[in-house]
Structure 1
Amino acid sequence: MILSHSAKMKSCYTDNVLRKGDDLMRGPPSPVIPKEIASHVLEGVELCDGILRNLFLCLQINDIEPFCQDEIVLYRQCAEKRDKEIRERMQDSEYKLGSSMPLEEAKGRATQLQSEVTLLERRLILASGLEGMEGFRQRWSLHGQLEDTRKRLVALNRGIGKRENQSSMGEGTKSAPAGKRWFFW
């Protein structure tokens, strides 16, 4: 009888942790970096691996999370800063690609990103039917990927639009001698 009561208490505790676990996932998830721009985006970024190692060591030594609050806070701050920097760099990279790639390739990339957005939207709709913690995690992850991909698409289109505006302005002044163009990256 005592054993079944203990098992029942453990089950209630586990269910409570699962229901409340979503409060640990604040803000968007870490961005997924496309392989074609990963080396440029990650260069010089603090990846927080040392802080994460300390957090896992603390959890291993103390066996419970309340004794590791300092490490959790440090990791959360580092991860938020890292993710913000990575998102800015991804958008900057897409903008530069849009303004420097051959126009047809840039438009092809925009089409590819738009199809990724559509796919993620469809997957998010399908994930809305999943219940429980797993459903929440999938929706949370897909929503983050969707927002990041949309922002990359907007940045790419801004780069393409900038170049199209420059070329249309250049066509209007063809009779004037062309000056040097400088690009600062």
Structure 2
Amino acid sequence: MDVDSQPTVEETILVGDDLMMGPPSTVTPQEIASHVLEGVDLCDVILRNLFLCLQINVIEPFCQDELALYWQCAEKRDKELRQRLQDSERKLGLSMPLGQAKERAGQLESEVTSLER
């Protein structure tokens, strides 16, 4: 295999807009917020470091490590929160009377529709 046919590795530079891509963070209802958020890394330390880096360096290319760390932490956090939220909603639905559970399901569906817009 000659040198020209080897794949090249390109450096990816993340910018602030990259943080806005992907699924939105989970919206947690107040009734179950304390249970769902308990013990979850909210990435606030990493976010502070990112903002500090941006403040010091003024431009984003110097903060690629901080951007990547925040991106990874946010993905992990959102995945964990979505799972916990689904589990809590399921438990809450099982303990509610059928009428209230149907009403809550309708309310959540309308919230999802409005968030998707």
TM range, smaller chain: 0.7 to 0.9
Q: State the alpha-carbon separation in 2 of the partners of residues 63 and 117 from structure 1.
A: 37
Distance 1:67 1:114, change over 3 A: closer
SS in 2 for 1:36: helix
Matched, 1:66 2:74: no
Instruction: Give 2:30's aligned residue.
Output: 35
Distance 1:36 1:28, change over 3 A: same
Instruction: Give 2:77's aligned residue.
Output: 82
Q: Which residue of 96, 100, 105 corresponds with 1:101?
A: 96
Count of residues in Structure 1 that have an aligned counterpart in Structure 2: 103
Distance 1:114 1:77, change over 3 A: closer
Q: State the alpha-carbon separation in 2 of the partners of residues 22 and 55 from structure 1.
A: 14
Deviations 1:52-103 (A, max 9, x none): 0000011111111111000000000000000010111111111111112222
- Structure 1: which 5+ runs fail to align? 1-19, 121-141, 147-185
The answer as to whether partners of 2:19 and 2:71 remain within 8 angstroms in 1 is no
Deviations 1:113-142 (A, max 9, x none): 234345x1xxxxxxxxxxxxxxxxxxxxx3
Q: State the alpha-carbon separation in 1 of the partners of residues 106 and 24 from structure 2.
A: 25
What fraction of aligned residue pairs are identical, expressed as a percent? 77
What TM-score, normalized by structure 1, do the two folds share?
A: 0.50
Q: How does 1:129-168 map to 2 (within 5 A)?
A: 142-143=115-116
- Structure 2: which 5+ runs fail to align? 1-14
Instruction: Give 1:111's aligned residue.
Output: 106
Q: Which has the higher helix share?
A: 1
Give RMSD over aligned pairs: 2.1
How far did residue 112 of structure 1 move?
A: 2.2
Q: State the alpha-carbon separation in 2 of the partners of residues 98 and 65 from structure 1.
A: 45
Q: State the alpha-carbon separation in 2 of the partners of residues 117 and 69 from structure 1.
A: 33
Instruction: Give 2:12's aligned residue.
Output: none
SS in 1 for 2:66: helix
